[in-house]
Amino acid sequence: MQISKQKKLEMLRSLLLSRKFEEALTELCKIENKIPGMMILCTGQEAVGTGVCAALEMEDVIITNHRSHSHLLAKGADPKLLMAEIYGKKTGCNKGKSGTLHLAVPEINAPCTTTVVGGGPPIAVGRAFAQQYRKEKNVTVCFIGDGATNEGSFHEAVNLASLWSLPVLFVCENNLYAGAQRYEEHTKVRNIAERAAGYAIPGVVVDGNDALAVYTSAVEARARAVAGEGPTLIEYKTYRWRGHGESDLQLYQPKDEIEVWQEMCPIPKLRDELLAEGLISPDELGEMESRMDAIVKDAILFAEESPYPEPHEALQDVFA
């Protein structure tokens, strides 16, 4: 598949923004009482959100999960509003109600994030049903991890999506860990994608650290869905650099394994390719990096300077 220069640069930009955003969060989490709650990061997995969202139109919908930063940034969420929400500030995209784990950005068609493992697929089915009901030529993407595919809700949802030929992309980021369990300890099939056969839908395995391969596979699955041919289960093989929360010491994860995967980092992979093809010069790359740094700095400044909500605002937004 021919991928335009603009698309490739857009993906590199998205990878860099996501990485810098999360690297900043890693540092902020080390400062006591700076960031409330848990902090679950997708560092190292950015090629999935980047590649998939690059294949989407604005009207396409994403339903994401607890490792959502990269998905949301790639879909076009405002980093300032995300950061303020992560800080628990009034100016955050959800007025401080969601925190980092449940970021919802309806403006970019990311109406809800669920942190209940396996919660996303049934909702994605409903959202895609609405697209089919209204004869929209759009799709819903459901981002899940490998662990979520062991929830019953995943199987109910895929079955229904297949049965009704709903325009859904079940995007599984197989990062080899679910909580503190290695993939082999929680799932017997070698590839999650094999499960697609049980629902008579295509299941594909793709290198999840290769943004261009991710993009290509998502374009194909999207085309199928829009054509009324139903859902696809795409398994992206990737790796979880950070733990299940920044307080997780990752004692169950071999150090050399982490290093091997860090060698396969999605950013240099795309960057070097673009440099070699002459699609970006070293100077332009430096400029792009500085711009992403500035965006993240601005977001942090905005969050720091924003006020907290008033306690009584906790009572708002329960009912419409």
Partner 1 sequence: MQQLGMGQAINQALREEMFRDPDVFLAGEGIGTGIHHSPMLPTAGLLKEFGPGRVKDTPVSEAAIAGLAVGASVAGLRPVVEIMFNPFFTLASDMIVNHAAKLRYLSGGKSSFPLVVRMKSGAGIGAGCQHSHNLEAWVAHSPGLKVVMPATAADAKGLLKSAIRDPNPVIFIEDIMLYFVPGAVPEEEYLIPIGKADVKRQGKDVTVATWSKMLGVAMKAADQLAREGIEIEIVDLRTLVPLDKDTVLGSIRKTGRLVVLHEATRTGGFAGEVAALAMEEAFESLKAPLRRVTGPDIPVPASPPLERFYIPDEEKLIAAVKDILK
Least separation, in Å, of the C-beta of 320 and partner 1? 4
Least separation, in Å, of the C-beta of 91 and partner 1? 11
d(CA 55, CA 10): 11
Among 41, 47, 55, 128, binds partner 1 (CB under 8 A): 128
Among 152, 278, 282, 311, binds partner 1 (CB under 8 A): 152
- Considering CB under 8 A, how many residues would be counted as binding partner 1? 46
d(CA 173, CA 146): 6
CB within 8 A of 182, min separation 6: which ones?
Answer: 176, 252
Least separation, in Å, of the C-beta of 263 and partner 1? 37
Q: Is 156 in the site for partner 1 (CB under 8 A)?
A: yes
By beta-carbon proximity to partner 1, the closer residue of 39 and 125 is 125
d(CA 7, CA 308): 38
Q: Is 133 in the site for partner 1 (CB under 8 A)?
A: yes
Q: Is 119 in the site for partner 1 (CB under 8 A)?
A: yes
Among 50, 68, 70, 98, binds partner 1 (CB under 8 A): 98
Q: Taking the mean position of all CA atoms in its chain, how far away is CA 295?
A: 19
CB within 8 A of 76, min separation 6: which ones?
Answer: 53, 58, 108
Q: Is 307 in the site for partner 1 (CB under 8 A)?
A: no
Least separation, in Å, of the C-beta of 226 and partner 1? 16
Structural contact between residues 267 and 15, judged by C-beta atoms closer than 8 angstroms: yes
Least separation, in Å, of the C-beta of 60 and partner 1? 12
By beta-carbon proximity to partner 1, the closer residue of 86 and 104 is 104
Q: Is 96 in the site for partner 1 (CB under 8 A)?
A: yes
User: Residues in the site for partner 1, rule: CB under 8 A?
Assistant: 61, 63, 92-98, 102, 104, 106-107, 111-114, 116, 119, 121-131, 133-134, 140, 152-153, 156-157, 159-160, 163-164, 316-320
